Chain A
Amino acid sequence: MGYRVSYEQADRLLQTWQKQYRIYAPKRFAGRGWKPGTDMIRYGEIQSFRDVAYTEQSHFSPKDVVAPIMQTMLSFTADEVKVSSIDDRGILLLARPCDIHGIHRLDKIFLKNGGQADFYYQRYREKVKFVMIECREGWDHCFCVSMGANRTDDYSMAVRFGPDDLLIEVRDEDFADSLAGLPAVDFTPEFVSQDKKPVQLPVIKNPEQLKAAYDLPMWAEYNDRCISCGSCNTVCTTCSCFDTIDVIFSETSRDGERRRVWSSCMLESFSTMAGGHAVRKTPGERMRFKVLHKVHDYRSRFGGDEHMCIGCGRCDIRCPEDISFVDAVNRLSAAMAGQAVVVGTKEEI
């Protein structure tokens, strides 16, 4: 069932929904871009559908709605320790199909891996309902089709933003009532059907091939280029790594918190243990770790067809040194295609 809704009507709906939900969408933050004079688009709570920056891809993914950049786990006062709590309301999350896939990837790690669900993720995640932002064209740099992340049916509503009004499809009973009575139209969302630049995925079938992938000379090329800032990880929807840190509010404070903050496998400190030993010492080694996680390790662990990467392409856009993940994957795939012949194992695409 679809509706055509003016922005004014939509905002009245928004107000209704806000009683039960906090509503998150990509918003424009003026002047907050990485380059002087540019804006940043990232997720935030909206008060109006006019706040939604729908004409561009958001620089950050919606993951910080369910796995915030920084969240308090425990709070310590001089003589008390408490578990943090969050808002009771549900969460309506406006997201494109690839990002909805991305959150499913996070679910694997946070809810499934190790057979136990993570409390701090789950308490957000179980509140989330998706409002899918229709994405028909994609952008030059994204490759969701290659990653199988272009379509989804996990949404309560889908929305097509227009300059004057919105088309909304409702699939969730909970929202049907609030829309009832508005002008009905025939609207079902469309999806991207072809990547502008498709990505070749590598074939790695056994430990020998994995070893061959590890030993490729291409990784060392990143040593000079990558500055290990970790930006590719933070804009990625599916990067889930975090650090647990304890903080005190000032040097002489008796109050403090145990926090969870995003971490990045591209940072030199990611694998550094107390005492200083680091497992992956060079940017190249870290690039290899990341790329293989995204297009090999994840699938090896969880099985099925899906890779971790959802093809949003944000990492390529973001990299301050213009390093392309897509290039890395394509080069890896090409090299492995060659390797496959060399090591004489069965080829499979």
Chain B
Amino acid sequence: MKQSVQNIMVIDLDRCIGCMACQVACKLENEVALGADRIRVLTIGPTGTYPDLQMYFLPVMCQQCEEPPCVAVCPTGASYRRTEAGDIQIDRDICIGCQSCYRACPYALNIFNNELRIMDKCDQCAHLQKIGEKPACVKNCPGRAMFFGDANDPDSDVSRILCETDPAHVHTLPDSGNRPMTRYILRKSDWVEIMPQEVPEPVNRRRQR
């Protein structure tokens, strides 16, 4: 039986060089306003003690959860799962910008669009999917670290890379029952548990610590 489509992102963190081009490509493609980002590149680390250090970069965007808290709380039904793609979308015509989804998201990855006064988030460039293109961040990624496709299709890019990768090296953001769908591959460094309360930092500035 053919499985339904479940579009997801897989990000190979060993290939991510923290260049933030995905953030800018996303802004250009989706007209995301200043001060807001649908995708953010976090710097994880350096951890360890000089000079034995680890550091990697973690692009975070809507994790397209299987049990999406943003959908569960949306007071107008504007947040919804697209059955045909398995992703979470926001219907701009009925979003009232109340930010309930922002508060519900364990990673605070829904953002407020200050111009339209409604919520906004990564929609995996649904408009580009329609014309057969990948999301802008995936398409542009200089490190070729980002993969997008149908997790239920064994021939998709994402299925292939997940298949090739030792499951011990495949991670997700912390799951508090929301079941995030984005997969992160990290082979060389230790996956430092990213606590939900650390991800939301709404400051865009990259800062090493």
Contacts and interface: CB of A to CB of B under 8 A. Distances in A.
Interface of A: 29-32, 34-36, 40, 42, 59-60, 69-70, 227-231, 233-235, 243, 245-251, 253, 259, 261-264, 267, 269, 320
Interface in B2-57: 31, 33-34
Contacts of A60: 77
Nearest to A256: B115
Given A30-B83, A31-B83, A69-B94, 18 more contacts: A31-B82, A32-B80, A34-B71, A36-B71, A59-B77, A227-B73, A227-B100, A229-B74, A231-B74, A231-B75, A231-B100, A234-B76, A248-B116, A249-B115, A250-B31, A263-B96, A264-B75, A320-B73
Please report whether the interface of chain A is mostly helix, strand, loop or mixed according to DSSP: loop
B115 to A, nearest CB: 5
Nearest to A231: B75
Contacts of B97: 245, 261
B92 to A, nearest CB: 9
Contacts of B72: 34-35, 320
B81 interface: yes
Contact of B81 (A36, A228, A229): A36
B115 A247 contact: yes
Interface of B: 31, 33-34, 66-68, 71-77, 80-83, 93-100, 103-104, 115-117
18 contacts: A31-B80, A32-B77, A32-B80, A34-B72, A34-B77, A36-B81, A42-B77, A70-B94, A228-B103, A230-B75, A230-B98, A230-B100, A231-B73, A234-B76, A251-B115, A253-B115, A262-B76, A264-B75
A229 B104 contact: yes
A260 B94 CA distance: 11
Contacts of A229: 73-75, 98, 100, 103-104
A255 B75 CA distance: 28
Contacts of B68: 36
Contacts of A234: 75-76, 96
Contacts of B34: 251
Contacts of B67: 36
A69 B96 contact: yes
- Residue of B34, B73, B76, B80 most packed against chain A (CB within 10 A): B76
A30 B4 CA distance: 15
- Residue of A36, A262, A263 most packed against chain B (CB within 10 A): A36
Closest 10 CB pairs of A and B: A229-B100, A31-B83, A234-B75, A231-B75, A229-B73, A230-B75, A245-B117, A261-B96, A251-B33, A69-B94
B77 A40 contact: yes
A34 B68 CA distance: 9
A262 B96 contact: yes
A150 B116 CA distance: 40
Contacts of B100: 227-231, 267
B104 A227 contact: yes
A70 B91 CA distance: 12
- Residue of A34, A40, A267 most packed against chain B (CB within 10 A): A34
A63 B195 CA distance: 41
A249 B71 CA distance: 25
Contacts of A230: 75, 98, 100
Contacts of B66: 36
Contacts of A248: 115-116
Nearest to A262: B96
B68 to A, nearest CB: 8
Contacts of A269: 98-99
Contacts of A69: 76, 93-94, 96
Contacts of A40: 77, 80
